[in-house]
Amino acid sequence: MDNQKLIVTAAPHITSADSTQKIMQRVCLALVPTLIASVIIFGINALVLVAVTVISCVFFEWAYCKLMHREVPIGDFSAVVTGMLLAFNMPATLPWWMAIVGAFIAIVVVKQLFGGLGYNFANPAIVGRIAMAMGFAGAMSNYPHPVSEIDAFSTATPLAVAGEVGSDSYLTLLLGVHGGVLGETCAITLLIGGIFLIATKVISPTIPVTYLATVAVLSLVAGQDPIYQLLSGGLLLGAFFMATDYVTSPTTTKGKLIFGLGLGIITCAIRFLGTMAEGVSFSILLMNLTVPYIEVLTRQDRLGIAKVKKNKEGAGK
């Protein structure tokens, strides 16, 4: 859908009027409820942070393409989506200049240096988030408590205190009135956005459903509360908006199943066995890097071609 000239699945193909621009606009629209929720929960600072990140993402994309004498792809909204997703991964207390550094890493280092949209090896927002979490460890984990309660009171995300006495109820998790980064707290709006994307056929439900189901099953096996695990942390944001990026996820259904399964296993491994509370971003990055191999292993047979030739074709790439 991103590039009409290169269709990688086997025939028959159906063409549609969808363009990169339309798809990206729908993703933006799906993110708006979460944006509104984050402003209500964390105050006007959240809106300013999102605006700063989106504007710097678009600016870096424009400036890099001008500098390199490339066609400027601002109209396709992809930088806006990257900016929004990146901002949703920041706590509301983050200084603005750090957000600009994150936007630079996401757009210039991860996306444009590798050739722009369609050539990035991993989701720009994810790598931007990980680089910031490693680089500004203190500022990135300074989760503010919602404005409705005490001002400037930082707390752990629910995941870090899961299982402790007095941890948040399901309702608190659904409404998102707890500490965390901007876009991960309000589960209801994330679900609305995700269902909107599935209903408008922007994303296929395969990856998010496989991902969430794997996490739920593994939580049960590990003796954790599966609903709590699903609703807390960045899982919903990652599953619906970041793991489903066209460029960095497999194209075939079989590939998507493997991708979602891998995401779930890595996330649970980091959550239950690792020292970090959250593993969604690392699992998405790791699985992004395996996508080229998944694609080769799950390549479709062309219609009318005998099975015998399959090996030859596989070696041909």
Partner 1 sequence: MSSNNKLKVFTNGILNENPVLVLVLGTCPTLATSTMASNGIGMGLAATFVLVCSNIVISALRKVIPNQVRIPCYITVIAGFVSVVQMLVEAFVPALDEALGVYLPLIVVNCIILGRAEMFASKNGIVDSALDGLGMGIGFMLTLTIMGTIREILGSGTWMSGLDGLFPFLPEGFAIQVLPESIDPFTIMTSAPGGFFIFGVMMAAATWLTTRPKKEKASAPAETAEGGNA
Q: Return the number of the residue (57 or 98) whose C-beta is nearest partner 1.
A: 98
Count of residues binding partner 1 (CB under 8 A)?
A: 11
Considering the rule CB under 8 A, would residue 134 count as an interface residue with partner 1? Answer: yes
Tokens matching residue 262 = 């891998």
SS3 200: coil
C-beta of residue 87 within 8 angstroms of C-beta of residue 54:
yes
* Residues 246-285: x where in contact with partner 1 by CB under 8 A, - otherwise, as a string: ----------------------------------------
Minimum distance of partner 1 from residue 139's CB (angstroms) = 6
Considering the rule CB under 8 A, would residue 108 count as an interface residue with partner 1? Answer: no
From first CA to last CA, the distance across the chain in angstroms is 22
Quickly tell me which residue has 């979490």 as its tokens.
133
Q: Give the Cα separation of 259 and 316 in Å (integer).
A: 24
Length of the chain: 317
Q: Return the number of the residue (181 or 187) whose C-beta is nearest partner 1.
A: 181
Considering the rule CB under 8 A, would residue 139 count as an interface residue with partner 1? Answer: yes
SS3 154: strand
Q: Return the number of the residue (135 or 163) whose C-beta is nearest partner 1.
A: 135
Minimum distance of partner 1 from residue 80's CB (angstroms) = 25
Q: Return the number of the residue (15 or 275) whose C-beta is nearest partner 1.
A: 275
Is the torsion defined by CA of 84, 85, 86, 92 positive or negative? positive
Q: Give the Cα separation of 44 and 53 in Å (integer).
A: 15
Q: Give the Cα separation of 145 and 153 in Å (integer).
A: 6
Considering the rule CB under 8 A, would residue 131 count as an interface residue with partner 1? Answer: yes
Tokens matching residue 313 = 């074709």
Minimum distance of partner 1 from residue 220's CB (angstroms) = 35
Q: Return the number of the residue (140 or 268) whose C-beta is nearest partner 1.
A: 140
Contacts with partner 1, residue ranges (CB under 8 A): 95, 98, 101, 109, 131, 134-139
